[in-house]
Structure 1
């Protein structure tokens, strides 16, 4: 199982220097992927801009949106150009994870409709592929990425999200699950994959939060309560689920591997460079 790490774009102590140092060091340590979370109505760095900065200071590590809430963005033409540019500037290292998202305030902020976001995401994906191949509603938009464009993954636990992964993607992302629940979700995704006529099985990716070292629990819970405040009382559950013990992190990684997960992304709760060292020694050691 590959082990990736989140780029700390949403944590309260992130700075320019810390973000770039984190990207460089994650590349050097040997993590498989740098993932980014996506929010609009929040005090965080924008996902694609952050990955572009990471692309400039790294050479090997994959760069992934995990996930990008695409339907609130202006339209497929601009997004296709942004993603193709990022893929080219990174030397073909971009992986695009997409989902419909569950925050209506992000949609209100751009004037995009919220209720039909899943349907619009399906249409957007088709338009992205067409644009990358040189066609689409407005032909001639470049750059033209190699191999038909970046690989696509899709997030979401609903049958509709899993069908989207089977119809349009290379795999499926389980966000907000646990190691215990991942196996059943992956099984459902695999069944839908087969029902949609795909061979083999989808690539599966999972996310978790971890924070190690002194004051890890207090630091992590404070951040996660704020980040997930929009879900009300459930924010406390999200905060308490964070892993703050090295042994627990190792065991959880083993559990995901045993469930057949292809890649696990460990998202941090602080941008302190010392935290990346702790995560690398525990998760990659």
Structure 2
């Protein structure tokens, strides 16, 4: 099982941004396989939609580092690990600008960049970027079209509903076309995974949502069925499982390791990422957790 971890991006560790490169190097040296960022823009005081089913946003989101800058630091500080986004809310951005950032990250990392994308869900964040939330799905689909054009064609151009890109010389390409991973469990999201994705990003939330059949196996079976209907080989779809331990406990290392082992035994997942957002107030504690989980889960 490959095991990755989040970069120090939110909460107390965001104040230690200067140590992000050291964290990335030491996590790689400890044996981590991947390093990840999230994409939150705001921490609304009175949100219309709370985070992860709650009424509000976690305290950790009151301090946030930019995901693209943090991935660039990690890419430059490491040699082996994948560097990925979990997830970038694609509708927030011009896809031409996003494609340039992704190309830069792939080149910086020598082909180790993994773009995980989603449609977004926070009304306040959509208001802040000036994008109607009702257009999020179609904007994500169109962004995927733009990436394809800019990463494979030269000259490249695009004429769509939301964006127009005049024919442009597009000579700097990624080291390899980054594999697109998509998140989501809603029917529309699962159809998009079946049609467009190289990989799917399911999730388990500890301790409340750890049923691997409900959260991984059954949705994956549906996605595979949708892929077969349109002539895509279900075996071509990769998975990276997101694991969110949401309560800080003294047994988090053992709890996460047990889940990783169970996932390896009961699902097709062979790569997980562990979100440490709630678990540490400093980078050294994060690294201690990284080492502990790696030792206990392997």
Structure 2 length normalisation: TM-score?
Answer: 0.79
Cα separation, 2, equivalents of 1:278 and 1:211: 14
**Secondary structure, counterpart of 1:279 in structure 2:** helix
**Secondary structure, counterpart of 2:32 in structure 1:** coil
Cα separation, 1, equivalents of 2:126 and 2:22: 32
The one of 89, 92, 97 aligned to 1:72:
92
The one of 230, 245, 248 aligned to 1:196:
230
Cα separation, 2, equivalents of 1:190 and 1:55: 32
The one of 183, 186, 191 aligned to 1:158:
186
**Secondary structure, counterpart of 2:173 in structure 1:** coil
Q: 1:182 to 1:200 in 2, by over 3 A?
A: closer
**Secondary structure, counterpart of 1:251 in structure 2:** helix
Cα separation, 2, equivalents of 1:10 and 1:142: 36
Cα separation, 2, equivalents of 1:44 and 1:58: 22
Cα offsets for 1:228-251 (capped at 9, x unmatched): xxxxxxxxxxxxxxx943332221
Cα offsets for 1:62-103 (capped at 9, x unmatched): 000111101011x11111111101110111110001110111
Aligned to 2:173: 144
Q: 1:11 to 1:183 in 2, by over 3 A?
A: farther
Is residue 45 of structure 1 aligned with residue 80 of structure 2?
no
Show the 5 A alignment for 1:237-276.
244-258=251-265, 259-268=267-276, 269=278, 270=280, 271-276=282-287
User: Greater shift after overlay, 78-87 or 171-180?
Assistant: 171-180
Cα shift at 1:120: 1.0
Aligned to 1:206: 241
Cα offsets for 1:138-164 (capped at 9, x unmatched): 3224521233x2111000011221222
Show the 5 A alignment for 1:1-285.
1-14=1-14, 15-42=16-43, 43-73=63-93, 75-133=94-152, 134=154, 135-136=156-157, 137-138=165-166, 139-147=168-176, 149-175=177-203, 178-180=209-211, 181-201=215-235, 202-210=237-245, 216-217=248-249, 244-258=251-265, 259-268=267-276, 269=278, 270=280, 271-285=282-296
Cα shift at 1:166: 2.3
Q: 1:159 to 1:276 in 2, by over 3 A?
A: same
Cα shift at 1:27: 1.3
- Contact between 2:31 and 2:294, CA under 8 Å: does it hold in 1? no
- Which structure 1 segments of 5+ residues have no match? 218-242
Cα shift at 1:10: 1.6
- Which structure 2 segments of 5+ residues have no match? 44-62, 158-164
- Contact between 2:245 and 2:256, CA under 8 Å: does it hold in 1? yes
Cα RMSD after superposing both structures: 2.1
**Secondary structure, counterpart of 2:134 in structure 1:** coil
